Structures are given as structure tokens and as C-alpha cells.
Structure 1
């Protein structure tokens, strides 16, 4: 389901060593009452990550917990209360690991994040019986003011 075009507002934040990236982003969007936020870009590093791998189903969520020093080479997704983020991390050898962010993204040196908000839209999540997961629902703000 698609929604119409929207104006864009841009926000930026920088997280420091030891902060947890996912919970910090959710808190940031809630404090600012953002209704259709998404990640535009992120540069930084982490020492931990808990990821759900691609073969997961609602009945079988295979998780991996990474520990070490990793560069964030990509972070994408939507940031409503039930954030849906995917990340790609590179280790000291340049090997990459990626998946659905479950948490435990502990910042190593920094995480510089630019968050966009579709000013005319509202994101929500509803359970989708076909996938077994809460999936994105896009509404115009005028429909759900």
C-alpha cells in the first residue's frame, strides 16, 4: 500500500560511547513526537549487536549476538515505536554481517544519525497474517490527525 508524496523534515543526533543505538533512536523520535520517522544515514561504530537473521519466521527467530568492534556501513528503516531497522556491520577484516536489529547496539566511538520525517504521513505497525510479523501501515496525517 502506497501513500502520496510528503514534505520532509530532517533531524540529526550524535550518540557517544556506551549508548544503545536502537533505544536511543526510539526515545529521540518519541521525545520529538515524530510520526513518520526513518533513517536517512548513519555513520559510526558499535561493540555489540543483536540481529535476527534473514531466515527467521514468526515461529523461529534465529538470533546472532555479535561482540567486537564493528563499523556501521549501513543502517536503514523506519522508527515508529516498533522500529524496523536493518544494519550492516563490518569487522576489522572488512567482513560484513547484517540483519534485522533486535537491540544491544552499544556505541563504540560514535553514531552520527540523520533522521528524516515524512511530515504529511503517519507510520504504524499492524500484524500481517501472511508474514506473521507486524508490518508497516502508511496513512496520511489528515486521515489520522
Structure 2
């Protein structure tokens, strides 16, 4: 298995999205508008009323491990890269503090707010290429052209 390693300068952006916005789509629009080449989530707090997540048992050929959440959830953690094929993982907690997490598939409807700090490795470019071993598009790190 290969590994990706590189160094870069850092640019930081802070954004806030309000009630009713869809978080993943909003983040992807932000990245596209600013033409960011190596963006990633540094931190995020807020809440959502729905989420579609792929769980750990899913494979490229078995996507049955997808759940659709509906209700009020606090964003406990959101991490990952925001290149065109975003790879984000989220941890959410319900009204009793019970947590659930997984790979973000979309439908992150914001309840009250989402305060997001986005970093960009300005000297790099992040892309994804299909990996024959995992069956998923995996991260490729390259110098920014």
C-alpha cells in the first residue's frame, strides 16, 4: 500500500451557514467558487436535522450499510478533504448524547448553524483515483501546478 506525503503553506477560511442550508453542497460550492486545490476541514460545530451516512461495513460492491438520520443532532466532529470528490466523516450526537458517525453521503440539513474552519494546503493539489485494492476513489497528493 502506498502512502501520500507532502508539505505546504496553509491558508485558512472561516464560514458560517445558517438554518436550512445543506452543508456538503455549501462547502463544495465554497471550494469551487474560490478554486481551492487542496482544501480540508479543520474544525466544525453546529447542528443538523438530517444526514445520510455510509457505515464502516460498506464496500464498493455492498452499499447496504447506509443510514438516513432525521431529527436534531449536534455536530460533534467533521473531518476530511474537500477536493471535488469530497471525503468527509462526521460524528453526530442526539438529544441523549448518543453518537453515530460515518462517511458523509449528503443531506446534511443545518438546524441552527454550521461554523466551519477550512484549511487549504496552498502548495498542493488533492485529487482522487480509483484504487483497485479498496474499490474506492482514494486520495492522490501532488504539487500544485
TM-score category of the 2 structures, normalised to the smaller one:
over 0.9
Query: Equivalents in 1 of 2:54, 2:124: separation in Å?
Result: 28
Question: Cα offset for 1:19?
Answer: 0.3
* Aligned counterpart, 1:5: 7
Question: Cα offset for 1:87?
Answer: 0.1
Query: Equivalents in 2 of 1:60, 1:16: separation in Å?
Result: 34
Question: Cα offset for 1:48?
Answer: 0.1
Q: Deviating runs (4+, > 4 A) in structure 1? A: none
Question: Cα offset for 1:3?
Answer: 3.0
Decide which of 83, 89, 94 is 2:92's aligned counterpart: 89
Query: Equivalents in 2 of 1:19, 1:90: separation in Å?
Result: 19
* Aligned counterpart, 1:78: 81
The alignment of Structure 1 onto Structure 2 pairs a total of residues equal to: 142
Question: Cα offset for 1:50?
Answer: 0.2
Q: Which runs of 5+ in 1 are unaligned?
A: none
* Aligned counterpart, 2:54: 52
Deviations 1:76-134 (A, max 9, x none): 00001110000000000000000000000000000000000001100000000000000
Question: Cα offset for 1:5?
Answer: 1.3
Say whether 1:114 aligns with 2:122.
Answer: no
Decide which of 14, 30, 33 is 2:32's aligned counterpart: 30
Say whether 1:104 aligns with 2:99.
Answer: no
Query: Equivalents in 2 of 1:134, 1:23: separation in Å?
Result: 19
SS in 1 for 2:101: strand
Deviations 1:45-78 (A, max 9, x none): 0000000000000011121000000000000000
